[in-house]
A and B are shown apart, each in its own frame.
Chain A
């Protein structure tokens, strides 16, 4: 599938088949969750990252179903096609953003998503404790969502943020790597 076709599908599904919700409500709700996690885990940001990823994973496991139902997509034609679908359709219909797919590795197994906008991080400032800037990946829930969603379609991936404008980096970049295609077996930890 050509990339413009992805964009067209994303646009169309977002317009016609998606229930919208106020962006500030999402931003504030997510912010409130992260803030609470930081408090509960007493500023152990590594653990906060882990919890956010886990929450995202649980969302992803379910979200893929909604994605497939809304888009009526068939099987992707290779990992490059998957990447385009994630960026131009997945992110478009659920967050109304389209991150850029870039920095492919030579073996076509890993790529970067560069976020020009990120609704989760609007009006956000990281805690000014000298550590959060180096340790907290504020939007880490997104990594979990991708991991969970892709696992349900037989792709085991590893996803992590490589940079974040909230930390003072120039861009917000997530790295996604295909570990393996899961052969006909039940996903571990499936509830």
Chain B
């Protein structure tokens, strides 16, 4: 994908410039995930710093999550989250039925669209995590695309998440 080409490590920094064998696909996906996620993290931090400035302090975790679903989503993706679910134990599931970065992707049958859309969710994951972090909530964020152009983000906050 475009994301990979634009973010692939510079040849001079890694010794192998030939294409990676298929077996390392997972490993390079992980590296790519970390990289895009980290870029998003900084963006999330910056956005929150700028756009939460003139608001009253958000005390409850749920207030912060609502800010993310409404304001932050609006800033980044020009709409609000369609659905928010929580188990009241620190896990929040945000569903966007038409996630903007995926809105123009091909849904051609057999095109593996859902799988190929996945990398485009990594940067937004980082944005969310960075935004939450700057509002005092440590969390892990995972995203999944089950049907284009929808996306589901699962936020697990650190403080209350039960150990599995």
Contacts and interface: CB of A to CB of B under 8 A. Distances in A.
Physical interaction between A and B: yes
A36 B76 contact: no
Interface string B38-53: 1110110011001100
Interface stretch (A27-35, A94-102, A165-173): A27-35
B82 to A, nearest CB: 19
A113 to B, nearest CB: 24
Contacts of B42: 28, 31-32, 35
Nearest to A42: B13
Contact of B43 (A25, A51, A58): A25
A24, A41, A47, A55 — most chain B CB neighbours (10 Å): A24
B139 to A, nearest CB: 19
A33 B7 CA distance: 9
Contacts of A28: 42-43, 46-47
Given A40-B9, A40-B13, A58-B5, A24 B39 contact: no
Interface string A15-31: 00000111011001101
A25 B10 contact: no
Dominant secondary structure at the B interface: helix
A25 B47 contact: yes
A36 B39 CA distance: 7
Nearest to A26: B43
Contacts of B50: 24
Contacts of A51: 10
A188 B40 CA distance: 33
B105 to A, nearest CB: 14
Contacts of B78: 20-22
Nearest to B50: A24
A40 B34 CA distance: 14
B20 interface: no
A20 B78 CA distance: 9
B6 interface: yes
Interface of B: 2, 5-6, 9-10, 12-13, 35, 38-40, 42-43, 46-47, 50-51, 75-76, 78
